[in-house]
Amino acid sequence: MISAEKIPNNVNLSSNKRLQRALEHWQPKYIQWWRDMGPQGFQDYHQVYVRTAVSVDPDGWAHFEFVKLPEYRWGIFLADPVHDRRIGFGDFFGQPVWHEVPGEFRNQLRRLIVTQGDTEPASVEQQRWLGQRCPSLYDLRNLFQVNVEEGRHLWAMVYLLHSYFGRDGRDEAEELLERQSGNRDKPRILEAFNEPIDNWLDFFMFTMFTDRDGKSQLMSLSESSLDPLSRTTRFMLTEEAHHMFVGETGVARILERTCQLMKQAGYSEDVRKIGGIDIPTIQKHLNQWFSLSLDLHGGEVSSNAASYFANGLKGRAKEETFEDHIVKNAHYTMEFFEEGKPVAKEVLMRNAMNEVLRDWYVGDCAAGVTRWNKILERHGMSDRLRLPDRKFNRHIGMYSGFYFDPNGVPLAKEEFEKRKYEWLPSAADSEYLLSIMAQPVYEPGKFANYIAPPRRGINQLPIDFEYVRTES
Ligand SMILES: [Fe+2]
Ligand SMILES: [Fe+2]
């Protein structure tokens, strides 16, 4: 069980006074950030039914209660240590894992932790206005659950920075609260985390695709030789699963409702007339967030990725399922693009580690899209959603600077610019979505017209439970 201290934890924080003081010094700054940059309008007068971790065992972290958001018990939880854990890949394969940061990998590890840490508060900032446009109290609660857990993920990374990186780590922890999503002077580190998420279709696509990038990154970090990083990220993964559930079921419920409305409109595509979200608009948002999230995996050929792997800092998702954990001489066949034509070339596998992780990611996303298409099928619709080709709309890596349609067919820049809004959300699409979300739905059991109710409530409660209560 975790302790009832100021900062809930299972790392025996009170035995390390220096660390405890440092984190207690950071805590009020975090709360101030949460108030300024967290859910707008839901800080003081609302009680939210959320899950709070009270221990890391399976029943302990699924503990539900009503809390005011700024009073959520953010804390530090590491998954239990694995006895005699050994390094699972790279040049140090088979050696005991590290409990301290080796001096020679300090900068690389700090960079990995800061980059991961930066995404957590960024997403809370991106989503801070959504509560004002929510489709139901059930969805509002889910949004806040995701938000408080992203806040906790920031705590997880800040704990590592404070514990293992001395002065530099403390400075980085401060800066994590200073950068702001979309801020021109001090933006968040990665592009997808500077894009606004101001409507719920964006939110569901973000939690489906961008939180799933979080899953691939956390899976590869949970393989790390640095044991505290491995244990921290392993526990974060249990929370991350809920975020993707919110995204996948959110889009599924929109699709369900869109099908109902299409039938109502006599199988017409144009469900906007009756306040629904048409399938082409859903596809465009899928294209947008999938391609942005592909970018988050980094360049296809990367010496950084090779060195992270060689040094045992960042592995592959499910490393144990691979046969070769050293990967010294293996090659990966990659599709380069030269003079307007695809050319297959062999790359050293270690240099292709970003692409290896991206392959896992694309497969995981594709499975989700297949589940969505079952809904369309069940309603007898001929439309299907699909993942765009991975070259489409890329801003990082070897396809950036080139233009492709969603089938991966190369286009001239002018052609792409002309046709861009056939494939990506336009200002008019966003305006339409905002118009149907302008009135939030705060009545228990009621849902906005564009989305179907979920199949069941949270924690076995009814769908019309008052998941967010207003206190007068
Ligand atoms: Fe997260
Ligand atoms: Fe997440």
Ramachandran area for residue 365 (φ above 0: left; ψ -120 to 50: alpha; else beta): alpha
- 467 has pLDDT over 90: yes
**Per-residue pLDDT averaged across 20-27, rounded?**
95
For 15, the token pair is 């035995």
137 alpha carbon to ligand 1 midpoint, in Å?
22
150 alpha carbon to ligand 1 midpoint, in Å?
4
Residue 63 is predicted with a pLDDT of: 86
Residue 1 is predicted with a pLDDT of: 42
Smallest-distance ligand from the CA of 120: 1
Smallest-distance ligand from the CA of 232: 1
Global pTM reads 0.96
- What strands lie across the sheet with 63-67, from one edge to the other? 63-67, 46-52, 468-470
Looking at 204-218, 255-269, 306-320, which range is the least confident one? 255-269
- 294 has pLDDT over 80: yes
24 alpha carbon to ligand 2 midpoint, in Å?
25
For 439, the token pair is 């009135």
Ligand 2 (ion): residues with CB under 5 Å are 211, 214, 240, 243
161 alpha carbon to ligand 2 midpoint, in Å?
20
369 alpha carbon to ligand 2 midpoint, in Å?
19
247 alpha carbon to ligand 1 midpoint, in Å?
14
**Per-residue pLDDT averaged across 189-216, rounded?**
96
**Per-residue pLDDT averaged across 242-255, rounded?**
98
Smallest-distance ligand from the CA of 152: 1
174 alpha carbon to ligand 1 midpoint, in Å?
18
What are residue 174's phi and psi, to 5 degrees? -65, -45
Give the span between the Cα atoms of 82 and 256, in whole angstroms.
Answer: 43
**Per-residue pLDDT averaged across 108-135, rounded?**
98
